[in-house]
Amino acid sequence: MWGFEPADSAIAALNLFRENRLNKILIPGFGYGRNAKIFADAGFKVTGIEISETAIELAQKHYGDDVKVYQGSVSVMPFDQEVYDGIFCYALIHLLSEKERAKLINDCYKQLKPNGYMVFVAISKNDAAYGEGEELSKDRFEMKHGVQLFFYDSDSVEKEFGRYGIIEAKEIDEPAKHKGNRASQKFWFITCKKQEK
């Protein structure tokens, strides 16, 4: 659906994780692995969570067994008792309800080592799609094909991530450069660091 090139924000997260000498990475919403491959290729130990068996099969076909992927919903995390140096969650959180979003952020934080980083990429209220479809609740819309999206602004980023060691939240274009017939979308790139107790 999105090709096999990693998202620009995955490359940014890779650089952040490298700079901070992280090793073990969890990717909730693994999909078919396009954003996981660059982490695995860079020597990170990668674990994924993906609800779609088809996506997991596609990932294994293209990338082999380098990456461990749990099949199931992020709503039933944790799948293991591991703690991770880094968590990268791309374009998943905005598909969830308010309660599910809160649980995902909290579950990820619980599986993060002290001094570990988690990066969430979430759709922005400044994206062109904001306001399309049926409004379900404040900033949440049911789009065509039944997809429900919650659109973030600085207030909702602070409200949902503020108590999880947020160190930076910035709006980005994804992809950074307009590619072919696909326009860039506006996202938030949210970085949190778990402080040592």
Whether 13 is covered by a domain: the verdict is yes
Whether 3 is covered by a domain: the verdict is no
CA distances in angstroms from 66 to 41, 93, 122, 143, 162, listed in the order given? 9, 25, 27, 35, 34
- Tell me, what's the pLDDT at 156? 97
Residue 172 identity (one-letter amino acid): I
Whether 81 is covered by a domain: the verdict is yes
Whether 63 is covered by a domain: the verdict is yes
- Tell me, what's the pLDDT at 176? 73
Q: How far apart are CA 29 and CA 23, in angstroms?
A: 19
- Tell me, what's the pLDDT at 67? 80
Q: How far apart are CA 93 and CA 37, in angstroms?
A: 21
- Tell me, what's the pLDDT at 136? 95
- At 108-156, the pLDDT tens digits run 999 999 999 999 999 999 999 999 999 999 999 999 888 999 999 999 9
Whether 17 is covered by a domain: the verdict is yes
- Tell me, what's the pLDDT at 152? 98
- Tell me, what's the pLDDT at 181? 62
- Tell me, what's the pLDDT at 180? 61
Q: How far apart are CA 64 and CA 62, in angstroms?
A: 6
- Tell me, what's the pLDDT at 58? 87
CATH label of the domain that carries residue 82: 3.40.50.150
Whether 189 is covered by a domain: the verdict is yes
- Tell me, what's the pLDDT at 173? 92
Q: What is the span of the domain harbouring residue 112?
A: 8-125+151-194
Q: In what order do the strands lie in the sheet containing 185-193?
A: 68-71, 45-50, 24-28, 84-90, 112-123, 185-193, 166-174
pTM over 0.85: yes
Of the listed ranges 44-48, 67-71, 105-109, 180-184, the one predicted with least confidence: 180-184
> What percent of the chain is modeled with pLDDT above 70?
93
- Tell me, what's the pLDDT at 179? 61
Range 43-64 average pLDDT:
88
Whether 112 is covered by a domain: the verdict is yes
Q: How far apart are CA 181 and CA 138, in angstroms?
A: 31
Residue 65: which residues within 8 A CB-CB, separation 6 or more? Answer: none
Q: How many domains does the chain have?
A: 1
User: Do residues 191 and 168 lie in contact, with contact meaning Cβ atoms separated by under 8 Å?
Assistant: yes
- Tell me, what's the pLDDT at 24? 97
- Tell me, what's the pLDDT at 175? 83
Whether 74 is covered by a domain: the verdict is yes
